[in-house]
Amino acid sequence: MKFGINSLAWQSPFTEPSKYFQLAKSFGCDIFEIAIEDFAVLDAEAICKAKDETGIETPTVVGAHGDTRDISSDDPAIRESGVQYAKDMVDFCNKIDAKVIAGPIYSAVGKARQQTPEEVKTKWALGVENLKVIADYAGERGVSIAVEPLNRFETDFINTVAQGLELIERVGSPNLGFLLDSFHMNVEENDIVGAIKLAGTKSKILDFHSCANDRGTPGKDNFDWKAIAAALKEVGYDDYLLIESFTPDCKEIAKAASVWRPFSESPEAIARDGIPFLKSLFN
C-alpha cells in the first residue's frame, strides 16, 4: 500500500508542486494526488521535476466536476464540455505518468434534485453513453477511470457501491472501477465493510480516499479503521490510500461539498497525524 494526500487539503488550485511535494515527503507520503481544477495553472513539467526531486509518485488524479463539466446534463453543450474535460484529464495523466482518474465523473458535484422516473432514466442513459466515450478514450491511452459514489447531499446519481456497480456494468468498459471514500460511505452505506467487499469482489477498487467522518484527519473519528483495513486486505487491495480533505479556498466544489470551516488545527496536521495512523493499519 502506498500512502499520500490529495492536493485539495493544502492548495486550490494546485500551482506549487515543488513546495507541496516536499511537504508531503516530510510527513512520510509516498504519493500525491492532484486535483485537476484549472489546466491553465497546472504545470506538467514542474510536477515531473518535483517528482524527480522527492521520489513522490502521482499515480492518480481527481477531477473537479463543477456545473460546466456534467456529462449527464440536460444541456448538450455542457455534456460536450464534460466529456472534453475528461479527455483533457487523460492527456494530462499521460504527461505526469498517472494511471487513474478518480471522482464523480458521471455528474456535477452538488447536483441533487427530486426527479421523475423519466428524468432518472434520461440521466442514466446520458451518463452511460458519455462515460463509455470517456472510458474508451482513456483505455486507449493506458488510463483507468475510478467512479466515486457520493453522499445524497452532493449528488442524486450514484450514492452507493451497488449503484456504482450498475453504472460500471452498463458502461461495460474493462478500465472502469471504483474510488471508495470513507466519508461518503459513512453516510450512504449501511455496512461500510460489506460495501468494500462488494466493490472488490464484483468489480475492482482503483483508489481509496480516507478521511474522518467530518472530512478531517483519519483516526480522529468514529470509524472502525481496523475493520476497514481488514476488508481492503481481504479483497486484495493494496494500491493507494489517500487522505482527502479540503481547504475552503477550493472554489470549484467548496460550496457543493459544504466546506465551510477548517477540519484540523492546520492543513499540515492532517498529514502529520493521519499518515502515520494509516500506515499503522497495514503494518
Catalytic site positions? 148, 244
Give the count of beta carbons closer than 10 Å to the beta carbon of residue 40. 6
Backbone torsions φ then ψ of 266, nearest 5 degrees = -160, 155
- Helix (H, G, I), strand (E, B), or coil: what is residue 63? strand
Q: How far apart are CA 267 and CA 245, in angstroms?
A: 9
Cβ atoms of 241 and 210 within 8 Å: the answer is: yes
Grid cell 446520458 is found at 126
In degrees, rounded to 5, the angle at the alpha carbon of residue 241 between the alpha carbons of residues 62 and 209 is: 50
Task: Tell me the three cell numbers of residue 111.
Answer: 447536483
Strand bridging mode 31-36 / 144-147: unpaired
Say what the alpha-carbon torsion angle 198, 203, 205, 206 is, to the nearest 10 degrees: -170
Respond yes or no on whether the N-terminal peptide bond of residue 276 is cis (omega within 30° of 0): no
Q: What is the DSSP letter of 8?
A: G
**Burial degree of 174 (CB within 10 A; 0-12, 13-18, 19+):** exposed
Q: How far is CA 171 from the centre of its chain?
A: 19
If phi > 0 it is left, if psi is from -120 to 50 it is alpha, else beta; for residue 97 that is left
